[in-house]
Structure 1
Amino acid sequence: MTDYTNADYETRSYGTISVGRGRRPGIVVIDYQKAFTEEQYALGGAPMVMRGLENTARLLKVARAHNIPVANCYTAYKDEEDMPHWKIDVVRREFIHGHPSTELDPRIYEPDYDVKICKTGPSIFFQTPVVPFFTKHSVDTVIVTGCITSGCIRASSIDSFQWGYRTIVPEDCVGDHDEQPHKDNLRDLGRRYADISTCDEMIGYIEEVGRLNS
């Protein structure tokens, strides 16, 4: 099997064009539910996830102040029969409607502002009303935040791309259980589908949009 290095990808023109920033951003917040943000749960409290949670909270404070649409989701099912064939035992046992691990972390959820969505697949866009919500608000750019980078963040970013949105992933607003898949998946997304950015850059972008629309 051929070993393609970063230089090989660059030579073949991967990642050479930025998707850019549109006139109307929207934010998706993916699975910052207590299962991932509280240490009492088997999947909870990973350092990179907690860093992402804190930065996403900073980003959302600015976004709400500038009337940016926010879609905030969690994953839950009626029972195991209602689920796809997850290979994660904890998901099968605990991601059930009514279980406290499915509650959104209050640090990133504003019930009087955010659209709250229950998703049943890795992508926030799969069989959910996110696209009609963003269409109503004329969103052309999606900022992807949440967890886990190598799973639901990757899937949601690719779906965002496929729906025709300019897609931006602030690296420090997403997190994984392991640094290597976090880096690998962001690098791959950045080569093909999305711009990889930072929380501070996205705050600056939202403030700029706010000034232009004021």
Structure 2
Amino acid sequence: MSDDYQRRSYGAIPVGTGQKPGVVVVDFQLGFTDAQYPLGGAPLVMRALENTARLLEVARRHGVPVAVCNTAYLNEREMPYWKITAVRETFLHSHPSTRLDPRIHDPAYDLQVTKKGPSIFFETGVANYFTKERVDTVIVTGCNTSGCIRGTALDSFSLRYRTLVPEDCVGDIEEQPHRDNLRDIGRRYVDVVDLAFCTDFIERWARRNSG
């Protein structure tokens, strides 16, 4: 963080962890994780996929609520005004690229939603699910950092959740926007952490509630 931001108190107060975690998994659909598709296979996204799978194994084992999403539309008329050709042409319900990657999706456990905008919380019911489950701390994973992760993190903040973004569980097409956006949301809205921090938080929460 630059000295000027520090002098103006940005990032001075950590978000911290609350009483119960929940995990959101944003857009790990084949369109982003399979290199045969135009947006698929970016190295940072694949690293995030692997680390998120590790996080989810721990989360599910301890009964942590998990919500996963894809982005898909009936047709182009239903879409917002996307500026990305590949989204307009392939993010359709009928297209195989919208299927969730099986490495991060457990249909028997996860709440699965299809979102229409950047944030997993926008008009999806995920916040209602977390309210029922008494989640107060949201761990944000998925892709892309500069788009739907940032949008999800801002909504999580606005919904008054403590919000954690593990750097190694989110990814983008290029490293610079990945780093820039994590820096910016870390100054204002979230704690930027890592996989180890999140698994430790979940393990501590599980031990505290085991009795």
Q: TM-score normalised by the shorter chain: which range applies?
A: over 0.9
Separation in 2 of the partners of 1:26 and 1:103? Answer: 22
Aligned to 2:124: 128
Q: How does 1:22-171 map to 2 (within 5 A)?
A: 22-171=18-167
1:128-178 Cα distance to aligned partner (Å, 9 max, x none): 100100000000000000000000000000000000000000000000000
**What amino acid sits opposite 2:17 in the alignment?**
R
Amino acid at match of 2:182: L
What is the one-letter code of the residue matched to 1:178? E
Structure 2 counterpart of 1:188, one-letter code: D
Residue 8 of structure 2 is aligned to residue 15 of structure 1: no
Moved over 6 A (4+): none
CA RMSD after TM alignment: 0.6
- List alignment gaps of at least 5 residues for structure 2: none
Secondary structure (helix, strand or coil) at the match of 1:56 reads helix
Question: 1:212 is matched with which residue?
Answer: 208
Alignment deviations for residues 93-114 of structure 1 (CA, whole Å, 9 cap, x no partner): 0000021000000000000000
1:193 matched to which residue of 2?
189
Equivalence for 2:180: 184
Number of aligned residues:
210
Corresponding residue SS for 2:12: coil
Scaled by the length of structure 1, what TM-score is found? 0.97
CA–CA distance in structure 2, aligned partners of residues 188 and 72 of structure 1:
24
Letter in 1 for 2:15: V
* Whole-angstrom distance in 1 between the partners of 2:3 and 2:25: 33
In 1, Cα distance between equivalents of 2:134 and 2:62: 15
Letter in 1 for 2:37: Y
Distance 2:75 2:141 in 1: 27
**Following the alignment from structure 1 to structure 2, what is the Cα–Cα distance between the partners of residues 210 and 151?**
32
Structure 1: state its 5+ residue gaps: none
SS at match of 2:4: helix
Cα deviations across residues 62-115 of structure 1 (Å, max 9, x unaligned)? Answer: 000000000000000000000000000000000000210000000000000000
**TM-score, scaled to structure 2:** 0.99
How many Å separate the matches in 1 of 2:140 and 2:2? 24
Structure 1 position 199, deviation (Å): 0.5
The aligned amino acid for 1:62 is V
Mapped partners of 1:213, 1:189: distance in 2: 31
